[in-house]
Structure formats: structure tokens, C-alpha cells
Amino acid sequence: MIDLSALKDNLDEWQKALDKRGEKYDLKKVLEQATKFGQLVKELDDIRAQQNKASKEHNIVEGKRLKKLEMAKVKEMEAPRGNHFVGDVPNIPLWDVPEGRDEASMRILETVGKTPTIKDIKDHIELGVGLNILDIERATKTSGARFYYLKNQAVELEFALVRWVMDLLKTKGFELMIPPQMVNRMTMDAGGYLRKNEDEVYQTQDDLFLIGTSEQSILGYHSAEIIDVPKRYAAFSTCFRREAGSYGKDVKGIIRTHQFDKVEMFSFVLPKDSEAEQDFMNNIQEEILQGLEIPYRKVLLAAGDLSTPSAKTIDMESWLPSQQRYRETHSCSNCTDWQARRANIRYEKGKFVHTLNGTAIAIGRTLVALLENHQQADGSVKIPKALHAYLSFKEIR
């Protein structure tokens, strides 16, 4: 949720920044709507105060009249507000985020590592099936499309990746966490994952939501609190996503699935420190990719590709030999105070923290990059040295 007082002072500047997203939001009308809504809240409070007085005086006729007024006022407050409702306005992109909403609009900041020369490239599906560490066919039988079984050495490799990354993050000052994998509506909405995005999340019959990332649970951990900052958490969880609308040969296999495991970084910081915190997280992501000996490039997303809560997102895209292209395996977003306002998380009275989230390791996509980049001519896969201490093998064959 955006800061209305700051919006009044920066209306034209914020409107130009928001326009870079390519969506139609009239911030002047947002201010008008918010002012009107605030007035309705005051009027409703006044009606309810009068109701209390009528009740104490046992004035039944006046109580009935006021009840009708209350119901009408509530109905007016709940009327559809569309893009002019302040709660539906996405975060304002930071000044250096480029305009646009396609791949050509993003900015490549750096390319790191030499792409491997592989004569007869196998994709991760052929490699995984051949090594008996991956089974997609039987997962389709039990669960439908976009599920998979990890088997044998791939299972050991997943836990090695998690342990290695968790050990690294401990040295960086992160508290380790395994969060709930279902959250309530208030928590999910505070993160910015409902309203326009509700069709992307799984909902239970008890009105709980399966998390698509542990960012959602961690945000709720400090909701309605005043906290000391910085606070940094590294959380392991299984994640669930509908992935509605995504298709094509470039997402086959285990690149884009409905269920996957991930370690997520999440930080609560002072507003003045959020840009530096994003650099800090990006450096950790690069350290992880370099440790895994995976070539990658660092990309600043264009405004039109930002998620609703993000003011700036930098992706790390790993090289996939089978596709001869880079694909996103890590993402890091500065959400400024947008989520903190919705979740009411402050560092002192009336002052909201900034929140940031970043992928440490997403198991599915990382396994794809590992298998493909470290494949050998005989179909085996070498394991990067960084993981040797966590495994009983140095190659999968």
C-alpha cells in the first residue's frame, strides 16, 4: 500500500514512475477516492457512537433508524473501487527501473562465467531419466501435469544444496526458519498476492492459502509489530503455484511446476538501508551461483515485469545449454514500505520498515542448471566442489 501523505507531495513524479508499469492508474483519483473513503470511515464511526448512545437510552426507534444508516454507509464503503482504490495500486517503481513490459526492455547489468562447450547436449529430462533420478511420467499419472518425482542421488543433492546454502546464510547473519506453508487471507493479501492474483494461488476449504514462497509466511511473522531492524530470515519451504497461463517447450520438465522446494531470504530494514540490502542479497545470490559453477547474467527487470509489491527487481538468470539461453533461477525484490504498510510492521511508532525478498536456492530450476551445465559426454553429471563435503559422491552416473 502506498503512502498517501507522500503521494500528495510527489503526485506528478509518482504518476510518471507508475506509468512505466504500463497499467492505468490515475493517482489523482486515487487520492480523491482515499479522501472520500476516509470521510466515510469518520461518518460510520459517528453513526456507531450515536447507536451506542441510543442503546444506553433504550431508544429503540432511533436505534433502528441508525442501524439503517449504518448498513447504507457500510454498503457505500464496500462499493467497487477499481484501480482508484489505494489498496489495489501496485508499488511505485524506483527511479532506475526501466520502462516497458517485455524482455527487450530489461537491462542486462552483467554476464558472469563462460558457457560450457558440450558436443551432444542433453536436456535435464533426458539426463534425469537416464540417471534414474527424475520421473515426470509417473508424477503425471499420480498428480497431473507439472509435478515430478526426485529419486536417489537427486534427493541427496537437494538436501546437500539446502544444507550448503543454509550454512552460508548463517554466516551472513540470517536466522534460519521453517515457516507455515498455509497462511490466512489477511497474511496473503498483505503480501500483495490476492485481489488481481488470486487465481495463481491454491486455496483450501478453510480459507487458508498454500504459500507460493515463504516470503508470504515471513512477512506475516512480524505483522502488527514494532521491531528492531535489521532482521534477516532464511526459510526453507515447499512452494505451491498454479502457474496459470504459462506454457511452451521452454517450461517443460521441472522448470515451471506446481510444487517445488526453495530457500528464501527475507529482510526487514530501515528505509534508508533497503537499496544497500538489495545489493547485499544480490551478492549472496552471485556467491551461490559461482559456488555451483553455473554461468549466469544479472538482469534489472523493466517496470512492466515487476510483481505488484515490488519497486525494483533484479534477477539472476542461469545458462541452460539445452535451450541455449539464460533462464531466471534467482530473483530479488525491494518492496520498500508497500508490504509493511499493509501488514503494519514498523520500526517505531508511525514509521514503517522496508521489506526485501530474494531467492537463495530454488531446487527445481537449480537442478536443471546443475545437470545441464555439468553433464559429461557419457551422460554422467559432475558435482561442483562446493557440495562435495555434503555428499558421499562427486558425480552422478
Q: Which residues are known to be catalytic? A: 241, 256, 328, 331, 365
The full length of the chain comes to 397
Please choose, from the candidates 81, 87, 60, 284, the residue with its C-alpha nearest in 3D space to the C-alpha of residue 170.
284
The Cβ-side half-sphere exposure at 374, using a 13 Å CA radius, reads 20
Please choose, from the candidates 161, 146, 158, 36, the residue with its C-alpha nearest in 3D space to the C-alpha of residue 86.
36
Q: Check: CB of residue 81 under 8 Å from CB of residue 286.
A: no
Query: What one-letter code names the amino acid at 171?
Result: T
Count of C-beta atoms within a 10 Å radius of residue 24? 9
Residues 6+ apart with CB under 8 A from 109: 297, 298, 299, 300, 314
Omega cis (within 30) before 384:
no
Q: How far apart are CA 235 and CA 218, in angstroms?
A: 8
CA distances from 356 to 140, 193, 269 (A): 35, 15, 8
Residues 6+ apart with CB under 8 A from 325: 250, 319
CA distances from 202 to 190, 194, 211, 236, 372 (A): 16, 11, 8, 19, 31
Q: The sheet that has 351-352: what strands, in order across it?
A: 225-226, 345-348, 351-352
Query: What one-letter code names the amino acid at 52?
Result: N
